[in-house]
Structure 1
Amino acid sequence: MATPAFEDIAETFDFLDDWEDRYRHLIEMGKALPPMDSAVQVPATKVDGCASQVWILPRIEGRSFDFQGDSDALIVRGLIAVLHALYAGLPVDQVEAVDAQAALARLGLDEHLSAQRSNGVRAMIARIRQLAADAG
């Protein structure tokens, strides 16, 4: 049930043979992520459980789920970009059905992130699911 945007990322990761190239690509994705206005980087949008500072702001239009995210760490910004590609545009009632861990495993991220970063990704996924559930 991957979105076309996520499939594009998966194809790029498949093309990049070396994990260091994938890591660089993830950082570039983070650099390309639009910055979040500091006015909405408040405790209500902050994601607990991440070693880095992470904020996720939902943007729900009708029944379509979207969010804006930001972090003070480039690699985490890249992870936010991947999660955005995975979830953005889905109907809010389909967000919980996404197997994010399996999707991230397709990219090899499950094997190459530190335990601390993996915990942060799980916290971001939980927050995204909660935001969608609240909107539903």
Structure 2
Amino acid sequence: ANKVPGCVSQVWLTTEQGPGADPVISFQGDSDAHIVRGLVAIMLALFSGRRASEIQSTDAEATLKELGLDEHLSPQRANGLRSMVKRIKRDAEAALKQTA
């Protein structure tokens, strides 16, 4: 249930949301690949502990470009990262709808 589809490496992500109309959402993640585990850590630093509305408005691809990582990711890793971001944003959207 926690596995992120679309990743070549195995990636697992759990979501925990706080109370309120715009809840703070915390994520925990892991991977079976060391490099991907590092990418998971970057995404958790970017998204975890933020309000659902902040997560929705955060541009992960722009952040990766700022860090210079976009040019160093293989197409497969970039697709997996997009899948993880999609899952995080979907969970934030669901949290906003649930409390509305």
Tell me whether 1:110 sits opposite 2:67 in the alignment. Answer: no
Q: Extract unaligned runs of 5+ from structure 1.
A: 1-43
Q: Does structure 1 retain, via aligned residues, the 8 Å contact 2:27–2:49?
A: no
Query: Which runs of structure 2 are paired with 1:60-75 in the superposition (5 Å)?
Result: 60-62=17-19, 63-75=23-35
Helix, strand or coil at the partner of 2:25: coil
Tell me the equivalent position of 1:132.
92
Between the aligned residues of both structures, percent identity stands at 51
RMSD of aligned Cα (Å): 0.8
Normalised TM-score (structure 1) = 0.66
Larger radius of gyration: 1
Give aligned pairs, total: 93
Q: State the one-letter code of the partner of 2:53.
A: D
Helix, strand or coil at the partner of 1:50: coil
Q: Extract unaligned runs of 5+ from structure 2.
A: none
Tell me whether 1:49 sits opposite 2:6 in the alignment. Answer: yes
What is the Cα deviation at residue 107 of structure 1? 1.1
Normalised TM-score (structure 2) = 0.89
Q: Which stretches of structure 1, 4 residues or more, deviate above 3 A after TM superposition?
A: none
More strand by share: 2
